[in-house]
Structure 1
Amino acid sequence: MQKITIGLVDDHKIVRQGLKELLEKMGNYKVVAEYDNAPAFLLSCNQDEKPSVLIVDYSMPGMNGVELIQEIEKLEIEYKILLLTQHFDDKIIDTAYHYGARGFLHKNCSAADLKFAIDSIAATGYANVIEILQRVRKFDVNSLEEKKNHSILLTAREHEFLKLVCDERELTYDQMADIMNVSVKSIEAYRSALFDKYNIKSKVGLVLFSYKYKLTEPFL
């Protein structure tokens, strides 16, 4: 079985060493990169092997984990990020998801919890799925009208693009361009239009947006 590759971003060496030993003892994981701060990751990520899952600490000097997630979103490389934090603060968690985090864990979690989160992200793209959906699916009396308005505002091509974003195959933008028979620049234009219209910051945000308002399969 091919090992799930892991990248670690944490300013405490002893924590990184402990995580590496724990993960590699659990069997199907290989730590391929370690960074002791967020800027070190940003400087090296294009040269290093891209891991299947990137485990990011929240509390780091200079640039915290959520700020790093925001910077990663600007890169052309997409990372599946698991945020580790001692702070179960709604604002931190919501912001992390808004910018593309795939899951989060408290640092007091068990080894079994860590394994489950990594396996879930590697297999499906997300951990904490139920909690993520509970956070974004806060319907009120205006929800049906909001859905109607969002559906009207989406062009046919934007709707087709959003459907591909939500495809369980996790298509790349190149693959979406081939399916839609358009250029990658056109795909980027559809993405930018949706980001601007609805203040969305990441591909994950687009998926959650579609889920909240039931705009595409598999959420209809």
Structure 2
Amino acid sequence: MGTESIRVLITDDHPVFRQGLKGLLQALGVDVVGEAECGPDAVRMAAELQPDVVVMDLHMPGGNGIEATRTITRTSPRIGVLVLTMFRDDDSVFAAMRAGARGYLLKESGAEEIARAVKAVAAGEAIYGPEIARRVLTYFTDMPDPRQAAFPELTEREREVLELIAQGRSNAEIAGTLFLSQKTVRNHVSNIFMKLHVADRAQAIVLAREAGLGESTPR
């Protein structure tokens, strides 16, 4: 999709910023079909005008951009929302992503970056400014493995035993895999049952698999 065929609705409560952004986009051949100064206006105008992209500020009097984004993406999934804001905090970034925004840029972004983002969002792509992309990447890189977060009451060895139980291994197989005696394995299994408040192996397997354990294929 070329820029000349992209229809954009600008949403921002600052008239001077809207005017500047409109001029920038029009100079690039983008068709600015409307301007809204608050979330509710954006929702109404998006429904009426059906633009390709809504450029959305987040914090505005009379209705915030997060709720507007959520409503627009739910009622008109074909419309892409590009957040353009001064807020760079994690809460704002991830709230916008959860609401369905396809892009997130800071207002300090250059004209070329904004134009590239509008075109990408119109094409159905997701795009983030460099700082926001680093923030998102760091967030997901630092997320703990849910399998490690599960069952904190277990020791590391008990977690290893539970992993093998979830794979359907017998006590003898677990003993061979971990180089333990079968008596030691039985003790670990008993401790696991007690700590997880389960009555038998079947219940332990259900809990473990719900937590993502046991996904490896038994050898």
Per-residue CA deviation, residues 148-199 of structure 1 (Å, 9 max, x unaligned), is: xxxxxxxxxxxxxxxxxxxxxxxxxxxxxxxxxxxxxxxxxxxxxxxxxxxx
Query: Which deviates further from its counterpart, 68-77 or 129-138?
Result: 129-138
The answer to whether the aligner puts 1:140 opposite 2:141 as a matched pair is no
Q: Which consecutive unaligned segments of at least 5 residues does structure 1 have?
A: 147-212, 214-220
Q: Specify the SS of the correspondent of 1:46.
A: helix
Shift of 1:114: 0.5
Partner of 1:83: 83
Q: Specify the SS of the correspondent of 1:31.
A: strand
Query: Which deviates further from its counterpart, 105-114 or 36-45?
Result: 36-45
> How far apart, in 1, do the equivalents of 2:75 and 2:124 lie?
22
Partner of 1:8: 10
Partner of 1:208: none
Per-residue CA deviation, residues 78-115 of structure 1 (Å, 9 max, x unaligned), is: 42101111111101100110110001111111111111
Q: Specify the SS of the correspondent of 1:62.
A: coil
Relative to structure 1, the CA distance from residue 44 to residue 112 in structure 2 (aligned partners, 3 Å threshold; closer, same or farther) is closer
Partner of 2:45: 44
Q: Specify the SS of the correspondent of 1:43.
A: helix
Count of aligned pairs: 145
Relative to structure 1, the CA distance from residue 95 to residue 57 in structure 2 (aligned partners, 3 Å threshold; closer, same or farther) is same
Partner of 1:67: 67
TM-score computed with the length of structure 2 as normaliser = 0.57
Q: 1:23 aligned to 22, 25, 31, which one?
A: 25
Identify which of structures 1 and 2 has the higher relative contact order when contacts are C-alpha pairs closer than 8 Å and 6+ apart. 1
TM-score computed with the length of structure 1 as normaliser = 0.57
Q: Which consecutive unaligned segments of at least 5 residues does structure 2 have?
A: 151-211, 213-219
Shift of 1:47: 2.2
Relative to structure 1, the CA distance from residue 21 to residue 118 in structure 2 (aligned partners, 3 Å threshold; closer, same or farther) is same
| Structure with bigger gyration radius | 2
> How far apart, in 2, do the equivalents of 1:88 and 1:80 lie?
20
* Aligned-pair Cα RMSD in Å: 2.7
